Amino acid sequence: MQTRPDLRNVAIVAHVDHGKTTLVDAMLRQGGMLRARTELPDRVMDSMELEREKGITILAKNTAITYAPADGAPITINIIDTPGHADFGGEVERGLAMVDGVILLVDASEGPLPQTRFVLRKALHARLPIIVVINKVDRPDARIKEVVDATYELFFDLDADSDQIDFPIVYACARDGVASLNQPADGTVPTDSDSLEPLF
């Protein structure tokens, strides 16, 4: 399959409440898709009344941002924000069939949970490249190193091969729109970056 260097199709997957929609909101703001002064509610991708009422994503939604690296041509990133609740796993599976890669969010306190296993199994089976994002690193109860270790264990448990286990890790506080390739101290926001740039 031929790929275009100016286009990426990515699904954001995780257990419920690990920060998928919050990350998409931050990506949209930093990608210039939402005006800074625009008054919009959090979770802009959750457009259904029931989603807003329950605080969960029910249907997978897509959006796009344009990323303009300082040293290259702009790249359009098509993003699919998937549900994290097990009842809507079919939406995740359909989303994975349309993407070139996956961003797997894992809460820095809770670690991998049952839906993390489900979505990771599907992504590994589809042989999709995976970026692991340890999110909510600023939580006072964050245990980043243990969560990273548990994530590696999950990859091993799901029989990931050596290529699949060689995944990049990004440490993030999606709520603040900050990410880093360097592991911060537990309970702190990454200070070597003021944006989500390392994720791109």
Question: Looking at the domain assignment, is residue 143 inside a domain?
Answer: yes
Question: Looking at the domain assignment, is residue 74 inside a domain?
Answer: yes
Instruction: Name the domain count of the chain.
Output: 1
Question: Looking at the domain assignment, is residue 175 inside a domain?
Answer: yes
Question: Looking at the domain assignment, is residue 33 inside a domain?
Answer: yes
Q: Which residues are catalytic?
A: 17, 20-21, 85
Q: What is the DSSP string of 83-105?
A: --SGGGHHHHHHHHTT-SEEEEE
Do 96 and 128 contact (CB within 8 A), yes or no? yes
Question: Looking at the domain assignment, is residue 70 inside a domain?
Answer: yes
Question: Looking at the domain assignment, is residue 2 inside a domain?
Answer: no
Per-residue pLDDT, 116: 92
Per-residue pLDDT, 52: 52
Per-residue pLDDT, 33: 59
Q: What is the pTM of this model?
A: 0.83
Question: Looking at the domain assignment, is residue 31 inside a domain?
Answer: yes
List the Cα angle 64/115/76 in 5-degree steps.
Answer: 10
Question: Looking at the domain assignment, is residue 14 inside a domain?
Answer: yes
* Domain of residue 132, residue span: 7-199
Q: Collapsing DSSP states into helix, strand and coil, what is residue 163?
A: helix
Per-residue pLDDT, 46: 47
Task: Assign residue 72 the CATH number of its domain.
Answer: 3.40.50.300
Cα–Cα dist 46/7, whole Å: 24
**pLDDT, tens digit (0-9, with 9 covering 90-100), for 128-141:** 999 999 999 999 99
pLDDT beneath 50: ranges in the chain: 37, 40, 43, 46, 87
Do 19 and 113 contact (CB within 8 A), yes or no? no
The DSSP 8-state label assigned to residue 57 in this structure reads -
Please report which helix (H) or strand (E) contains residue 77, including its range.
Answer: strand 75-81
